[in-house]
Amino acid sequence: MAMKAWVPAAGPFAELQREMNRVFDSVFGRHFRPVGRIRSGYVYPPTNVRETDDAYTVQCEVPGLEMADLEVYVTGDQLTVSGSRASTIPEEGVTLHRRERDTGQFSRAVTLPGPVDSGGTEATLADGILTVRIPKTEEAKPRRVEVRVGE
């Protein structure tokens, strides 16, 4: 879960907040930065979904992945994004100072609120953000109703 790291610029709690942020950063890294309260965990990848009249647009933050590392498929009205994150840290001959990036397999499914045309789905990947556009079926698109003036 992407979190805004609120660092108040000034005030009596600013230094305390900075100190706490520093401690949390050094131990947990970005994804566990508390915002107001302690978070117990997060799902991966962080995902945004938007809906227009024609389609759903799903975006996932997947820094460091290439299309070959990802599987994106639509089954019924469900979109699944899965894949695996490999570590870039060499196995041997290395002194590790800090390891904050997560690795391993992941799979996340998003159920869309209406029927979709899986064949028309398009996925692009840029700057570590996956964007999937899933068109709605024709029947699911809102239809404008002509209002005729009565006589």
Partner 1 sequence: MANPIDVPVEMNHDSRQPPESYFVPATDVYETADQLTLVAEMPGIRPDGLAVTIEDNILVLRGTPGPEPQEHGEVLLKEFTAGEFYRAFQLPADYDTEKVEAGLRQGVLTLTLPKSERLKPRRIEVKVE
Stretch touching partner 1 by CB under 8 A, among 25-33, 74-82, 133-141, 143-151: 25-33
**Would you give the distance in Å from CA 69 to the centre of its chain?**
16
Q: Token digits for 31? A: 């994804």
Report in angstroms how near the CB of residue 73 gets to partner 1 at its nearest: 19
Note the Cα 8 to chain centre separation in Å: 26
Residues 50-109 that bind partner 1 (CB under 8 A): 50-53, 56-57, 59, 61-66, 87-90, 93-102
For residue 73 the two structure tokens come to 């498929």
Asked whether 52 and 41 are in contact (CB, 8 A), the reply is no
For residue 133, what are its two tokens? Answer: 């556009």
Q: Are 61 and 129 in contact (CB under 8 A)?
A: yes
Q: Count of residues binding partner 1 (CB under 8 A)?
A: 55
The smaller minimum CB distance to partner 1, of residues 105 and 111, is found at 111
Site residues (vs partner 1, CB under 8 A): 1-7, 9, 18, 21-22, 25-26, 29-31, 33, 43, 46-53, 56-57, 59, 61-66, 87-90, 93-102, 110, 113, 125, 127-129
